[in-house]
Structure 1
Amino acid sequence: MAPTLYDEKPEPGDLIEIFRGTYQHWALYIGDGFVVHLAPPSEGPGAGTSSVMSVLAEKAIVKKEELWDVVGPNEWKINNSLDNKYKPRPVNVIVREACELVGDELPYCIFRGNCEHFANELRYGKAESRQVCKAGEVALAAGMAAVLGLGFVALAGALFGGSKKENKNTE
């Protein structure tokens, strides 16, 4: 069951991570039940997993909406886990800059400028996306496994394939 404001009470400047199946959407809590977030134009309030197609957009809009409209039926949590890596900027600066950006259209790129980059840049002054880092690690691991697998096949072929050829030549 998704948390309610009675379970978790975000403070201005908190990052809100919203779980949408195959990805997480990120927003910045600015107070009074509102968040500011970066959303491709096709992503409406309470977007579900179908909004994953919005990652193909090249532009996104900075929106100020009620937390519950953005969360919709999805689970969410306060996630300021980069606090152990970066010092958060002053709350008044975070909230002011977030509000000044509302309505702006910004370049959007899943790898270099997504909603998590946006939220982290507001809180820490550092545009970082752990989702992108994790996806890169998974892709690297898959690539390494493929290379190792091909290497193993080639080695097995060299070790065991050659003996048949030799046997054929000796007959």
Structure 2
Amino acid sequence: MGQDNCKPEPGDLIEIFRPLCQHWALYLGDGYVIHITDEGTSSTWLFTSSVHATRAKVRKQLLERVVGNDKWRVNNKYDRSRTPFPVEEIIRRAELCIGEEVPYNLIASNCEHFVTELRYGVGVSGQVQNAAAGSAAAAVGSIILGVAAVVGMALSESASRR
């Protein structure tokens, strides 16, 4: 069972903890989830091939098969800021996608975007937002350090002229 031992309900978002990132699925009921995976690649290794993927296949599979040996949990974290569709609508929207090939982009259209689009009508990815925030903070930090180094060198040069 999941990390938090919570029994999923139809329409719940399932966060699966992979070695390099999280994989996301949407619980349909009766042990099944819908998720996207690189064609011909198990969902366990989606991240390694997803850097280059531009298309993904929508699959309905047993949760236990998708999870494998990884930890997972129900994580409807966006319910605090977004209103989910009624469960029947979420499931209807999900089932229409099964077997379809959809655009895939690690930054703009990944597995988390896919399932949040089904649940809320808008694709959101906290992983991407967090990575972008971290990159932005690193970039700002680098700029500040760069400016400080230039100012420090200028002050040092000025002091050595005295």
TM over 0.5: same fold? yes
Q: Does residue 44 of the first structure (1) align with residue 42 of the second (2)?
A: yes
Which residue of 20, 28, 35 corresponds with 1:30? 28
TM-score, normalised to structure 2, is 0.93
The question of whether the paired residues in 2 share the 8 Å contact of 1:41 and 1:61 is answered with yes
2:25 aligned counterpart, secondary structure: strand
Deviation digits for residues 53-95 of structure 1, max 9, x if unmatched? 3232000000000001110111100000111111110111111
Which residue of 130, 134, 138 corresponds with 1:134? 130
**Inter-partner Cα distance in structure 2 for 1:143 and 1:4:** 35
Q: Please list every run of 5 or more consecutive structure 2 residues that lacks an aligned counterpart in the other structure.
A: none
**Inter-partner Cα distance in structure 1 for 2:145 and 2:3:** 47
The question of whether the paired residues in 2 share the 8 Å contact of 1:62 and 1:105 is answered with yes
1:12 corresponding residue in structure 2 = 10
TM-score, normalised to structure 1, is 0.89
1:3 corresponding residue in structure 2 = 2
Give the paired residue count. Answer: 162
RMSD of aligned alpha carbons? 1.7
When Rg is computed on C-alpha atoms for both structures, the one with the higher figure is: 1
Which residue of 30, 50, 59 corresponds with 1:54? 50
The question of whether the paired residues in 2 share the 8 Å contact of 1:42 and 1:51 is answered with no
User: Percent sequence identity over matched residues?
Assistant: 40
Q: Please list every run of 5 or more consecutive structure 1 residues that lacks an aligned counterpart in the other structure.
A: none
